A and B are shown apart, each in its own frame.
Chain A
Amino acid sequence: MSIFAWRNLLTRPLRTVLALIGLSVPILGVMGLFSVSNGLRDLVGETLSRIEGVMVIRQNVPSPVFSTLPASLADDLRRLPGVRAVAPEVWGIAPNIEGRGMLRGLLSPKGVSSVFDQPVISGQDIAAHMNLNSAVFPRALKEKGEGRFLTLEDIGKPNIVISRKIARDFPDPQGNPRKLGDSLRIADKNYTIVGLYETGSLLLDVVIVMDIETARSILNFAKDSISSIYVEAKNPGEYDALSATIEKANPGVDARSMNEVKANFGSLMGQVDKLLMMTVSLALIVGIVGIINTMLMSTTERFVEFGVLRTNGWSEANILTLVTLESAFLGLLAGIVGCVLALIGTTVANQFISGGVHLGVNPSLLGMGISLSVIMGTLGGLYPAWRAARLVPMEAIRIGSH
């Protein structure tokens, strides 16, 4: 019967193609949106996997950039059991770099190209950071970068480590990427580039690393204030417990282990996925209506055929199965077309997207797209199938003959 159903679709090629387009476009939309969602998930997951420790910030702020803590908190944390290393940091959005800034960018072409490209300053207590085992930027510089990371010699000096991306985004007057030894003007002062790192992550490759005192002067941070503290545990398996200990001992602070951040981000992305699904469900409903319309037209034209099948002993269930199979096949075809288009689209789009975001169409997403399409096709075919099956054979032949 499935071959018969398949042939019925091919008998009306134009209608089948139009119905395919109607259904494959929403499927393409679903795939496209979820590939973006997957891409972000992969990016953040990959970024967080580089960071092992606990980030201590003020409660109820989204990131260290918006946090202020007393500098004395670092000493309190050092005394807690299970703590191996404590590294205070000052964070802030960089003021104008080479005359370009985020706010100016919104109004003039001289600004940064997007909010994701906006450089962020990370002032580090160099001595404390040298004691860390899991510091992200020194490792990235060692693996893929060039030059050197900050040492005790850089304390109080205008030396910085930047990413290759920043070096490209803020080229020298000749248009070439900044090199080691070049200077970069931040606000109204020049800073010497001593190291170039590359993490490959959109979220990390915007950080300009410098001595904490230098950062304080650029960001107008008070001497006794810091933004956050990076804490390493003695036992890497105890980060969640360490977070709880820090929060219990210091009300008003938020100690986020990367597991917690991952979980929070996963939960956030789950909400985003739901929102995406709600949005695309409108398109899916339109697709289902298209299938219903197509199948209704098809079944109305074929009343005689159904009557003839009934006279030959086909049951109502057989007719229902036949028509539903046809619409399920339509859904399957639309799903395959939508997935192929999504694969092509994301492959092309990935050529133009930088910063570590990679639109992801993985096998499970492909499976979901095809399954969704088949379900939509089947649902869309149920009413026309039921209507065709309910015809009294004699009436079907009579109606169709006139």
Chain B
Amino acid sequence: MIEVVNVWKSFRSGIRWVEALRGINCRIERGRFAFIVGPSGSGKSTLLYLLGALDRPSNGEILVNGQNLVTMSEAMQNLYRREQVGFIFQSFNLISNLSALENVLVPFLPRGITADQRARAGELLKQVGLENRLDHHPYQLSGGEQQRVAIARALVKQPLLVLADEPTGELDSKTGDEIYKILRSMQHTYQATLVVVTHDRRFITPDDLVLEIQDGQVALDSGAIADGSSSPNGSRVEGSAGFNGEDSPGRGVSLKTGE
């Protein structure tokens, strides 16, 4: 389970400080498919990166499966990223001079790659439909194929948490659909918690958890609505986004699509 408690994050921008996050509170249950949505510059990616221990908040606490990321040592953060979190980026961010298979194995490079890890990487690439592309380099792969390699890389460590930052942002809609199918299938298979930052709400389903961020604060937390708890900033969240489906009241939030 992920618990974000009153998290603030400030950045220095030139001579002034910018508050990217201002007292964020939220909770994501284990195994959920969660979306963080909101306008550009609202702090979505910052929150995502903080969940991945890529930086530390200026204030507040982030607990992932009981581990406090804020007080974690640098070495433990490395271990956390290496073993418990998988990242997927908008720009795929594959290493250009490594093959697809080697890119999937990147987390294990410093410590040496075992036969078991190599076999697992090959199996994952097969699962995302790239069994014939193992030796191809990124420049030999389409955008969709590169993102599939990135998904395999995120999952090869069998993580508890997968964080994706606009995973379909550079793909056409058809390829985007395929990527989400793979992500949902993989999440189902590996029972990982998936947190996705996106502008594109077409891929949100009623069962997904949705956090809407505006100006560094949670404007809507569908999980909080489901619980009937108050919103992070003290006010009760009303169903401005209207529930859909009677079988899972409150868990799915129907939001505007196609933004």
* Interface, chain A (partner B; CB < 8 A): 1, 4, 7-8, 10-11, 304-305, 307-316, 318, 321, 392-395, 397, 401
Contacts and interface: CB of A to CB of B under 8 A. Distances in A.
Contacts of A7: 97-98
Interface of B: 46, 49, 52, 54-55, 74-75, 78-83, 85, 87, 89, 91, 93, 95-98, 106-107, 109-110, 153, 157
B98 A312 contact: no
B113 to A, nearest CB: 10
Contacts of B85: 311
B98 A4 contact: yes
A394 B49 contact: yes
B91 A311 contact: no
Contact of A312 (B55, B75, B91, B107): B107
Contact of B95 (A308, A316, A394): A308
A311 B81 CA distance: 6
B87 A313 contact: no
A305 B89 CA distance: 12
7 contacts: A4-B109, A313-B80, A313-B157, A314-B107, A315-B110, A392-B55, A393-B49
Given A312-B153, A313-B107, A393 B95 contact: no
B78 A315 contact: yes
Contacts of B75: 315
Contact of A308 (B55, B78, B93, B157): B93
Given A1-B110, A310-B81, A394-B46, 12 more contacts: A4-B109, A304-B93, A305-B93, A308-B95, A311-B81, A311-B85, A312-B153, A314-B109, A315-B78, A316-B74, A321-B110, A394-B49
Nearest to B105: A312
B87 to A, nearest CB: 4
Contacts of B49: 393-394, 397
Given A311-B87, A312-B153, A393-B55, A305 B95 contact: yes
Contacts of B110: 1, 314-315, 318, 321
A309 B97 CA distance: 14
A8 B102 CA distance: 14
Identify the interface centre among A8, A318, A393: most chain B CB within 10 Å of its CB. A393
A311 B87 CA distance: 7
B55 to A, nearest CB: 4
A394 B97 CA distance: 22
Q: What 3 A-B pairs come out closest when comparing CB atoms?
A: A313-B82, A394-B54, A312-B107
A386 to B, nearest CB: 15
Contacts of A395: 55
Given A393-B55, A394-B55, A401-B91, A312 B97 contact: no
Nearest to B83: A313
Contacts of A313: 78-83, 107, 157
A62 to B, nearest CB: 61
A308 B95 CA distance: 9
A4 B109 CA distance: 9
A312 B81 contact: yes
A312 B54 contact: no
B121 to A, nearest CB: 13
A395 B12 CA distance: 12
A227 to B, nearest CB: 72
B54 A311 contact: yes
B54 A310 contact: yes
Identify the interface centre among B78, B82, B110: most chain A CB within 10 Å of its CB. B110
B241 to A, nearest CB: 29
B258 to A, nearest CB: 26
Given A8-B97, A11-B96, A309 B55 contact: no
Nearest to A314: B110
A11 B82 contact: no
A1 to B, nearest CB: 6
Contacts of A311: 52, 54, 81, 85, 87
Contacts of B96: 11
B24 to A, nearest CB: 16
Nearest to B87: A311
B85 to A, nearest CB: 8
Contacts of B83: 313
B46 to A, nearest CB: 8
Contacts of B52: 311
Contacts of B157: 313
A309 B46 CA distance: 18
B81 A11 contact: no
B216 to A, nearest CB: 16
A30 B52 CA distance: 50
A397 B89 contact: yes
A308 B54 contact: no
Contact of B106 (A10, A312, A315, A393): A312
Nearest to A392: B55
Contacts of B98: 4, 7
